[in-house]
A and B are shown apart, each in its own frame.
Chain A
Amino acid sequence: MKIDFELNGKPTSVDVDGTTPLLWVIRDTLGFTGTKFGCGMAQCGCCTIHFNGMATRSCMLPIQAAKGAKITTIEGIAKDGKLHPVQQAWIEKDVAQCGYCQAGQVMTAVNLLERNSKPTDEEIERAMEGNICRCGTYHRIKDAVKHASELMNNQ
């Protein structure tokens, strides 16, 4: 079936089986591989994207639910060639080890800070609990979220 939606600010149209999860449309059909496959059952957070402004797992969301939706992936959060403050903070705090889960972590953090620009430690931990990192970068993730909050509030 033909489905129209907005991807990273651009009108996008695909013709695929409507039950295909959004993740695979983004990755295989459209070639945006920044959004990662980790578990396929919305448990690990690697595939996190923004769906109408909410951090959402894309691996279980059928594409037919995306009709007319505004979708943002990791490739779409830097604006006009300028890194998003969360991306900047992630680099400055040297968060990534293997890096595979980090696109999902960044997308969750961006969404948290959009909703709550000065989260407390507890709020950060609660928001980030759904994103798994086997390298164990949680310590720096938390630092980076705080740093990003400062960067955004000083803009």
Chain B
Amino acid sequence: MKIDRRKFLKISGASTAGALVIGFNWPGMVKAASAGETELSGYIKFLADGTVVIMSPNPEIGQGVKTSMPMIVAEEMDVDWQKVVIEQAALDTTKYKRQVAGGSGSIRTSYKTLREAGATIRQLFIETAAQKWNVKPKHCSAKEGIVTHKSGKSARYEDLIEAAKSRELPSGVKLKEPSEFSIIGKGKVNFDAEKIVKGEMKYGMDTVMPEMKYAGIIHTPAFGGKYISHDDSSLASSFPEVKTYKIGNAIAVVGSNTWEIFQAKKLVKVEWELPNTESSESQLEDMKKMIEKGKLKEKKSIGDIGQAMAQADEVLEANYFTPFLPHNTMEPMNFYANVTGNKVHLLGPIQTPEGTRKKISNDLGIPQENITLELTRMGGGFGRRLRNDFVVEAAMISKKAGVPIKLVWTREDDMTGGFYKPATLHNYKASIKEGKLTGWELKGLGMKSPRSVDEKNFPVGAIENIKIESNVAPSKVTTFAWRAPNHNYLGFSEQCFLDEIAEKIGKDAISHRLEMLDGINSEIKYSAAKMKGIVEKVREMSSWRKDKSKKQGFAAYYSYSSYVAMVAEVSEVNGKINVDKVYAAVDCGQVINALGAEAQIQGSIIDAIGHAFYGEIKIKDGTPQSQNFHNYRLGRMSCKPDDIEVAFIESNDDPTGLGEPGMAPASPAVVNAIYQATGKRYYNLPLSQYGIV
């Protein structure tokens, strides 16, 4: 594709003295990445003192894009990383594309465009210097913010700013060869690390604005509950200034500080209609009945599963259950909103700013261009902040109360009023004939979720006869994406079942997996060669089953465009499981930030193990039975593996994301290792119900 860069990259006319401001904007550039999204732009400022300011467009939830995305621009610009300053961009659909933190997609969808932007700027400085020296640009090179001519003459970027301003941006720039990278692939500390450890980093929870009031919210205690009436008369004596407002199906409480509204909330009596009789037990029964009665929809059928089962020497069957999980971001939901007349100012933590602005625009009847949305660093997302229910609440409260407010949810609001990871039930059957896995039948159900199977992923394509069915199990409990949606629980059941099959066939789990990968056809959506690469890598790094005293379990999964294989080692001490070590082999193409990439995998392993051990929110009468961390256990330091070793496959393929792919293989690798240590297979999460953790 030939691109006329002058159309999409421009030197800002508003450049102030001594600074160069470059905006970039390229129609058509990234069409291949995702249809319908045709524009990406960024914003780079060169200051006279040599500081380079790079705006980071995507929301930062701890996945590290505020550091890694600017690393890509800085690499191709060839500037000194020490002089780079990163600022979080506000929502601006005219400048930026896909300002979303989700699906492990930030790096994957923007890599090439960020490189092009950086390379164009490098070339601009080279051409500026060449003209100044009256030499050919091809005889000049750039490194760490300095242009050098082959004669030895050199100039700093910042000293070329004034001359560069009057030039047209170059076209046809050449990107670096990966062998030339000096920033990409290296380890760079999280840009905000110092602010974080000094307590200076501002999260949404920390927002303080002029005239700002504080708002709390009272939701229905049970899923499916409906507001009938409320009585706030007892506020008058203790909190005369506090006011209440009905907001949708909830009551907002507005006061002058956080503690006041938390206290005032307890004094407001709300009458609810609570028709929901669901319990965790009834939900599981309902799912079992749906499977028994065949209330399922076909997702995939290859070969003849009926015949494979009929002709099998042996049929293996297992049911796996995973519970509802709240997101439990450490920073509870909150948002600042100021609705004044026909204008809205929003500030806070949200993974999907663009969709949120649209929603607010629709709900309040205010044009999108009148809505400003600024992003704060997020105290975790994990999918919860893909939803914008709390932003809508904040805007509605500000509108009704007629003042700027910061809405603050308590931990109880957050844990009980969420969009949980759906509870799931997976029924598997495998037919084995003459030592070979000949048939695979999966029936998957997600509570209020259509996503419980993945008919385009392994082992589809590796088995002759396949049947995959799924359905939504009805519930009033609201569910949504939860870190590595679908894969986090599907990976557990599938990888545990495959381990059992390999044993039944009498084959080593890894050898069996490699054989299966060798037999793969085009039905699969990923590269079998890459999957084999990580499986072989993890076998080698873990010295797989060479030391019989080490109780090892294996799992591998392709998730959100990256490949991760793991071997876990566990030991049993006095009936309790300790995870001694986890090895992870990862193929995510070109690694951008070595330190950040490793952190995502380490964190995913610990996050997945913590939830596999303890994570569960039970339901009774439609009401969550855990409200805070006194009766909901998140993984703490004691559940982390004693050691974690992560290896990335060396690759210059375009990078894929890492926020989610480490989740799916971690819990099955551990559960498979537990089988090696104890001789017991566990089919339901969390493992705490068995008293072994």
Contacts and interface: CB of A to CB of B under 8 A. Distances in A.
B208 interface: yes
B602 interface: yes
Interface residues of A, number: 57
B630 A135 contact: no
B156 interface: no
Contacts of A56: none
Given A40-B262, A41-B629, A136-B605, A98 B640 contact: no
B407 interface: no
B182 interface: no
Given A94-B599, A140-B602, A134 B329 contact: yes
Nearest to B595: A94
Contact of B193 (A21, A28, A91, A141): A91
Interface of A: 20-21, 24, 27-29, 31-41, 43-44, 46, 73-75, 78, 83, 86-87, 90-92, 94-103, 106, 125, 128-142
Given A20-B259, A94-B189, A136 B602 contact: yes
Nearest to A130: B636
Interface in B150-196: 187, 189-190, 192-194, 196
Given A40-B262, A129-B636, 14 more contacts: A21-B259, A28-B259, A34-B199, A37-B408, A78-B198, A83-B197, A91-B189, A98-B62, A99-B190, A100-B329, A134-B330, A134-B607, A137-B599, A139-B641
Query: Among A20, A132, A139, which residue has the most Cβ atoms of chain B within 10 A?
Result: A139
A103 B62 contact: no
Contacts of A83: 194, 197-198
A105 to B, nearest CB: 9
Contact of B377 (A24, A95, A98): A98
B674 interface: no
A25 B604 CA distance: 35
B3 interface: no
Contacts, number: 182
Nearest to B188: A94
Nearest to B61: A98
Interface residues of B, number: 62
Contacts of A31: 208
B603 A135 contact: yes
Interface of B: 61-64, 187, 189-190, 192-194, 196-203, 205-206, 208, 214, 257-259, 262, 328-332, 377-382, 408, 410-411, 595-596, 599-600, 602-607, 610, 628-630, 634-638, 640-641, 644
A138 B640 contact: yes
A132 B330 contact: yes
A39 to B, nearest CB: 4
Secondary structure at chain A's binding surface: helix, strand, loop or mixed?
loop
Nearest to A97: B62
Contacts of B644: 139
B240 to A, nearest CB: 14
Given A31-B208, A100-B379, A140-B599, A132 B258 contact: no
Contacts of B636: 129-132, 138
B628 A91 contact: no
B637 A141 contact: yes
A132 B629 contact: yes
Nearest to B642: A121
Given A97-B603, A133-B330, A33 B199 contact: yes
A98 B637 contact: no
Contacts of B196: 90, 96, 99, 102-103
A28 B634 contact: no
A33 B205 CA distance: 9
13 contacts: A24-B258, A27-B206, A34-B198, A75-B198, A99-B201, A100-B380, A132-B636, A135-B607, A136-B604, A137-B599, A139-B644, A140-B599, A140-B602
Contact of A135 (B200, B380, B629): B380
A78 B195 CA distance: 12
B607 to A, nearest CB: 4
B197 A106 contact: yes
Contact of A39 (B192, B377, B411, B610): B411
